[in-house]
């Protein structure tokens, strides 16, 4: 019987394990399907990790390595090359590996499975279906892990961070990146990545554009892009044609929620990950979640901090913490979602973090937290908020305590 089984050994799983250990849990197990720990970080050989947690700029593998080192001489057990196939409300974890197919029993579970990339089907890009179309993450793996180039002349669809990072990586390896094409009027990536990965290499970013056709029998030979109207429909007469042999898709990430679904964990339609409370507990008592499996993070550092919250949640749960109901955290259309979506009562933390993303670019604005009677409980000034960056506000308990009923997060441009 394990105190906690952590599913996934990326930054979320590693940081959660470390914190569980520090908090004194005895039987901790990480189950990871890959042959090594580190998750997606293993293929992120660029720097830009660690400023939040370690106060130094690290590459992805270095960031992961720090955690792996910290866990080395602990009681934390690790099962590699092992896939979790199923979990249930009774905290049974079904795993499979070269030794067999078995059920493990835990008192609590932390979901840390990360997310997967959306593929071409999700946006139904028309055209031929030969080689040459890759998700950016798959291309990153071929290049950074296997050491092979996937193409020579590249168009990137979507301006998520992975696509941007890959624009730079492919260029440095001698490919020609002809364009980065984004259907929204703004980029989905971090501003620093737009500058360092596109602008510095003179790669044009076509906002409000999409690929309308991919041609080429055995391999991509040509793509057509077009400007889109406000309903994202291509506008005739705005087409631009690129001769290229590769299309990289960086069109978003979706939390890995197969296990959560089967376990009957309630999912949020907006994040596509589990709905969570302030302690990262899901709708099923004793099952917690953190990292990209909950919502897509820009920074591994934020993932690690969220994982620590989940770990603390598990420890309190195992000590028998009981809640007396909860309040909902709601929002309105210009804010895509919030995490957490609920807060346990009574309020027993000194402060409460709320994470969210906006749906358009905001100049100088005020973020409000209001209660069900529209009393303003807290307000935060911001100069600039963009969809590409996850936003965080922290509200002290003393302010939240004044509220009645459910909470709502709003934003208003000044």
Partner 1 sequence: MYDVIIIGAGIVGCSTAYYLSQYDLKVAVLEACNDVSMGTTRANSAIIHAGYDPEPGTLMARHNVKGALMIRELCRRLDVPYKQCGALVVGFDDKDMETIQTLYERGLVNGVEFLKILNREETHDLEPQLSADIKGALLAPTSAIVSPWELALALMEVAVENGVELKLNNKVEAISKSDEVFTVRTSEGEYHGRYVVNAAGIYSDAIHEMIGQKEFTITKTKGEYYLLDKSEGRRVSHTIFQCPSKVGKGVLVSPTVHGNLIVGPNAEDSDNTDTTYEGLQFVRKTAVRSVPFISFGDNIRNFAGIRAKNDRGDFIVEESHSVPGFYNIAGIMSPGLSSAPSLALEAVDWLKGKMELHKKAEYKETRKKVRFNQLSAEEKNELIKKDPRYGRIICRCETVTEGEIVEAIHGVIPAVSIDAVKRRCNAGMGRCQGGFCGGKVAEILVRERGISPLDVLQNQRGTNILVRELKVK
Enumerate binding residues for ligand FAD (CB under 6 A). 7-13, 31-34, 39-41, 44, 46, 48-49, 83-84, 112-114, 137, 140, 161-162, 165, 256, 259, 291-293, 297, 299-301, 303
**Tokens 């599913």 found at:** 7
Task: Map 163-206 to HEC letters.
Answer: HHHHHHHHHHCCCEEEEEECCCCCCCCCHHHHHHHHHHHCCCEE
What is the longest distance spanned by two Cα atoms in the chain?
65
How much is the CA Rg of the chain, to the nearest whole Å? Answer: 22
Q: Check: CB of residue 225 under 8 Å from CB of residue 181.
A: yes
Say if CB 101 and CB 84 are below 8 A apart. Answer: no
Output the smallest distance, CB 180 to ligand FAD, in A. Answer: 14
Name every residue whose Cβ is closer than 8 Å to that of residue 69 and which is 6 or more positions away in sequence: none
* Run of H or E residues at 243: strand 240-243
Among 46, 141, 222, 379, binds partner 1 (CB under 8 A): 141
| Contact call for residue 185 and partner 1 (CB under 8 A) | no
Q: How far is the CB of 167 from ligand FAD (least distance, A)?
A: 11
Site size toward partner 1 (CB under 8 A) is 48
Binding of partner 1 by 128 (CB under 8 A): yes
Contact 277, 342 (CB under 8 A): yes
Instruction: Burial-class residue 172 by CB neighbours within 10 Å (0-12, 13-18, 19+).
Output: exposed
Could you tell me the smallest distance in angstroms from the CB atom of residue 291 to ligand FAD?
A: 2
Q: Which one of the spans 11-19, 214-222, 297-305, 337-345 is the region binding partner 1 (CB under 8 A)?
A: 214-222
- Find, among 222, 230, 219, 158, the residue nearest to 194 by Cα: 158
Q: Which residues contact 407 (CB under 8 A, 6 or more apart)?
A: 327, 328, 329, 330, 343, 369, 370, 371, 372, 377, 400
Choice from 11, 61, 163, 234 touching partner 1 (CB under 8 A): 234
Q: Does residue 101 belong to the site contacting partner 1 (CB under 8 A)?
A: yes
Kindly state whether residue 98 participates in binding partner 1, applying the rule CB under 8 A: yes
**Cα distance between residue 233 and residue 245, in whole Å:** 25
Task: Please report whether residue 321 would count as binding partner 1 according to CB under 8 A.
Answer: no
Q: Compare residues 120 and 209 and give the one whose CB is closer to partner 1.
A: 120
Which DSSP helix (H) or strand (E) runs through 303?
Answer: helix 300-318
Residue 297's binding partner out of ligand FAD, partner 1, none, with CB under 5 to 8 Å set by partner kind: ligand FAD
Among 36, 88, 119, 372, binds partner 1 (CB under 8 A): 119
Burial class (CB in 10 A: 0-12, 13-18, 19+), 216: buried
- The nearer residue to ligand FAD, 127 or 403, going by C-beta atoms, is 127
Which range, of 132-140, 307-315, 327-335, 336-344, touches partner 1 by CB under 8 A? 132-140
The CB-of-379 to ligand FAD minimum distance in angstroms stands at 29
Quick one: 98 or 325, whose CB is closer to partner 1? 98
Give the x/- contact pattern for partner 1 in 145-184, rule: CB under 8 A: -xxxxxxx--------------------xx----------
User: Is 382 buried (19+), middle (13-18) or exposed (0-12) by CB count in 10 A?
Assistant: middle
Work out whether 235 is an interface residue with partner 1 (CB under 8 A).
no
Q: Could you tell me the CA-to-CA distances from 106 to 42, 99, 317, 322 in Å, in that order?
A: 28, 20, 13, 19
If the CB atoms of residues 144 and 302 are measured against partner 1, the closer one turns out to be 144
The reply on whether position 238 binds partner 1 by CB under 8 A is no
Check binding of 137 to partner 1 (CB under 8 A).
yes
Rounded to a whole number of angstroms, the minimum distance from the CB of residue 85 to partner 1 is 7
Hey, is 334 helix, strand or coil?
A: coil
Looking at 75, 105, 200, 219, which residue binds partner 1 (CB under 8 A)? 219
Stretch that binds partner 1, among 63-71, 177-185, 212-220, 281-289 (CB under 8 A): 212-220
Beta strands in 256-400 (DSSP E): 287-289, 326-330, 335-339, 342-344, 351-358, 365-370, 376-382, 391-396
Based on the shown chain and the rule CB under 8 A, indicate whether residue 130 belongs to the binding site for partner 1: yes
Minimum CB separation of residue 275 from partner 1 in Å reads 18
Under the rule (CB under 8 A), what is the footprint of partner 1?
33, 81, 83, 85, 96-101, 116-117, 119-122, 124, 126-131, 134-135, 137-138, 141-143, 146-152, 173-174, 212-213, 215, 217-219, 234, 245, 258
């Amino acid at each position: 019987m394990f105190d906690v089984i952590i599913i996934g050994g990326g930054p979320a799983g590693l940081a959660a394990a470390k914190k569980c250990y520090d908090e004194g849990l005895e039987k901790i197990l990480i189950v990871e399907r890959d042959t090594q720990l580190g998750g997606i970080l293993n293929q992120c050989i660029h720097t830009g990790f660690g400023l939040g947690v370690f106060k130094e700029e690290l590459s992805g593998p270095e960031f992961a390595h720090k955690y792996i080192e910290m866990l080395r001489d602990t009681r934390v057990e690790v099962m590699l090359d092992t896939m979790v196939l199923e979990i249930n409300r009774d905290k049974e974890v079904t795993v499979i590996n070269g030794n067999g197919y078995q059920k493990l029993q835990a008192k609590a579970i932390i979901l840390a499975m990360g997310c997967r990339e959306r593929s071409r089907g999700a946006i139904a890009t028309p055209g031929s279906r030969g080689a040459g179309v890759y998700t950016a993450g798959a291309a990153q793996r071929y290049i950074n892990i296997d050491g092979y180039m996937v193409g020579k002349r590249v168009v990137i669809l979507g301006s998520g961070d992975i696509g941007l990072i890959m624009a730079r990586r492919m260029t440095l390896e001698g490919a020609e990146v002809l364009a980065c094409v984004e259907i929204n009027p703004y980029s989905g990536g971090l501003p620093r990545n737009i500058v360092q990965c596109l602008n510095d290499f003179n790669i044009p970013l076509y906002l409000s554009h999409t690929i309308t056709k991919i041609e080429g029998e055995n391999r991509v030979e040509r793509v057509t892009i077009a400007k889109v109207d406000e309903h994202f429909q291509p506008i005739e007469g705005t087409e631009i044609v690129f001769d290229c042999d590769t299309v990289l898709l960086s069109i978003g990430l979706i939390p890995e929620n197969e296990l959560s679904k089967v376990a009957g964990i309630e999912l949020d339609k907006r994040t596509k990950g589990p709905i969570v409370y302030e302690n990262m507990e899901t709708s099923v008592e004793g099952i917690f979640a953190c990292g990209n499996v909950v919502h897509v993070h820009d920074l591994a550092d934020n993932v690690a901090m969220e994982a620590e919250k989940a770990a603390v949640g598990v420890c309190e749960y195992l000590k028998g913490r009981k809640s007396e109901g909860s309040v909902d955290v709601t929002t309105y259309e210009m804010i895509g979602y919030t995490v957490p979506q609920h807060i346990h009562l009574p309020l027993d933390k000194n402060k409460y973090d709320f994470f969210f993303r906006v749906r358009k670019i905001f100049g100088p604005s005020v973020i409000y937290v209001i209660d069900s009677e529209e009393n303003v409980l807290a307000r935060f000034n911001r100069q600039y908020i963009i969809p590409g960056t996850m936003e965080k506000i922290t509200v002290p308990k003393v302010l939240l305590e004044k509220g009645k009923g459910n909470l709502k997060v709003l934003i208003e441009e000044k």
